[in-house]
């Protein structure tokens, strides 16, 4: 792919910041041979009577394809010739729909709404469509106790989904105080990590202040498919977070051999119960550092993309001004 098409596509994606569109979900599943309807709601700032709306599709490693468009003020869609047999468009108030007839594997792609704002085409965030044979498997959700307090006074809550088909999920975090009132988590950082081997595991991490962990109850929920109910798990609290006052020390007595044997069995059972969650938590914490490094690299990459687009825009504007000057002379 050459630099100019890439830069143009990045420029289009930057237009998404204006939030002209919204989708009910970023991902959807469709069964082979069934019909599938995707929807896109236009922001109230957009006047449909004077604005044309387009539906695009992009397959992995391929260019964007326009499927259909609604002309300014039009109630029916104009469909591109090569897609006229299986794609139809609908419009109701500020919501525009795209219906795919008899879904096939070829329809697995990301679908976008788009409109023109001046000389820039603004795209929606997109809907990723997955095509399945109908076998949908609910994820197994595990919640782990909060990590120990870090040097910055923060603690990490972990929630992991695995064994799901198709292999994507959407995490949501909730918190309640002791009176049952909801606690705002918008200012707290949320990260996700995906591991594909030996099985697909997606881990959500919520980084909160240590005081929040002590005084609130946290719940992790995961939404897998629109046909499956949301799965929820409460974050377990560590036993040492609220230690009761110690009881007076009783007088020590020498246990009998039988009592010693019973005490040893109880200790071994407790040890076996503790090892499994501790090992799972250690495995997740070990990869947290690597994920933080990847997160920083992605931020740097986005900055570089922005600088590249800015330079290209500057050069284009300079060339246009030079051309206008030459025409004037």
Contact 73, 48 (CB under 8 A): yes
Give the pLDDT band of residue 287 (cuts 50, 70, 90): low
Q: What is the pLDDT of residues 297-325, one digit of tens each?
A: 877 777 787 888 788 887 777 777 777 66
- What is d(CA 77, CA 54) in angstroms, rounded to the nearest whole number? 9
Provide the token pair at 165: 């088909």
pLDDT (0 to 100) of residue 324: 67
- What is d(CA 15, CA 13) in angstroms, rounded to the nearest whole number? 5
Cβ count near 306 (within 10 Å): 12
The number of CA neighbours under 13 Å toward the Cβ of 39 is: 8
Average confidence score pLDDT of the chain: 79
Radius of gyration of the chain (CA): 27
Which range among 79-93, 248-262, 288-302 shows the weakest confidence by mean pLDDT?
248-262
Nearest CA-CA partner of 5 in 76, 51, 58: 58
Contact 211, 120 (CB under 8 A): no
What's the farthest any 2 CA atoms get from each other in the chain? 110
Q: What angle do CA 198, 203, 207 make, to 5 degrees?
A: 150
- In this structure, the strands spanning 36-42 and 21-22 are antiparallel
* SS3 state of residue 42: strand
Q: What is the pLDDT of residues 226-242, one digit of tens each?
A: 556 788 999 998 765 55
* SS3 state of residue 293: helix
Q: Which domains does the chain have, with CATH numbers?
A: 3-132 (2.60.40.10), 136-240+274-314 (2.60.40.10)
């Amino acid at each position: 792919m050459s630099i100019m098409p890439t830069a143009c596509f990045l420029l289009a994606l930057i237009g998404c910041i204006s939030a002209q569109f919204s989708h009910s979900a970023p991902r959807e599943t469709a069964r082979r041979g069934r019909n599938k309807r995707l929807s896109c709601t236009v922001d109230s700032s957009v006047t449909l009577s004077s604005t044309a709306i387009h539906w695009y599709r992009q397959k992995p490693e391929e260019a964007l394809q326009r499927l259909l468009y609604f002309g300014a003020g039009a109630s029916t869609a104009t469909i591109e010739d090569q897609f006229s047999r299986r794609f139809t468009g609908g419009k109701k108030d500020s919501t525009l729909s795209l219906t795919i007839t008899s879904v096939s594997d070829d329809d697995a792609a990301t679908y976008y709404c788009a409109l023109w704002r001046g000389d820039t085409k603004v795209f929606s965030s997109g809907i990723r469509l997955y095509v399945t044979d109908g076998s949908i498997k609910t994820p197994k959700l595990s919640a782990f106790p909060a990590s120990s307090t870090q040097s910055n006074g923060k603690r990490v809550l972990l929630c992991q989904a695995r064994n799901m088909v198709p292999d994507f999920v959407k995490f949501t975090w909730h918190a309640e105080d002791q009176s049952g009132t909801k606690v705002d988590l918008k200012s707290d950082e949320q990260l996700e990590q995906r591991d594909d081997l030996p099985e697909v595991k997606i881990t959500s991490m919520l980084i909160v202040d240590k005081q929040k962990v002590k005084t609130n109850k946290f719940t992790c929920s995961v939404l897998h498919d629109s046909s499956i109910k949301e799965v929820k798990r409460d974050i377990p609290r560590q036993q040492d977070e609220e230690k009761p006052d110690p009881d007076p020390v009783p007088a020590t007595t020498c246990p009998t051999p039988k009592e010693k044997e019973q005490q040893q069995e109880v200790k071994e059972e407790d040890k076996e119960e503790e090892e499994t969650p501790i090992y799972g938590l250690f495995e997740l914490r070990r990869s947290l550092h690597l994920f933080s490094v990847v997160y920083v690299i992605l931020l740097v990459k986005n900055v570089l993309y922005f600088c590249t687009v800015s330079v290209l825009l500057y050069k284009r504007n300079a060339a246009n001004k030079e051309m206008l000057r030459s025409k004037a002379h």
